[in-house]
Structure 1
């Protein structure tokens, strides 16, 4: 049997064994939050006050 160089180094204790790959969990599985329509609109900034510049000062419209 022919062994690779990496296998020989592992057998002699001279190399680090390769780590096992972990499965990644998607964020949607970890955290599920239901947002209402009003909360989504607030995050998007739909219901903000509107300001207008009048003679150098800002006024609420």
Structure 2
């Protein structure tokens, strides 16, 4: 059996075992606020004014 230097040192008591890394759970806060359909559409950019060019300037449609 071939062992690494680290494993040999651990067996002989000359080195400490490496500590395992603990996984940290990301705490995600759930939004308790209920948004209406219209508010969601505004956030997504669906309900924006539309402009079209008229003689070099832009005007609302």
Fold shared per TM-score above 0.5: yes
Q: 2:7 matched to which residue of 1?
A: 7
TM-score normalized by the length of structure 1? 0.58
- Which 4+ runs in 1 deviate beyond 6 A? none
**Equivalent residues in 2 for 1:1-61 (5 A)?**
5-10=5-10, 11-13=13-15, 17-25=17-25, 30-33=28-31, 34-36=33-35, 37-61=37-61
Query: Unaligned 5+ residue runs, structure 1?
Result: none
RMSD: 2.8
Following TM superposition, by how much is the alpha carbon of 1:17 offset from its aligned partner in structure 2, in angstroms? Answer: 4.5
TM-score normalized by the length of structure 2? 0.58
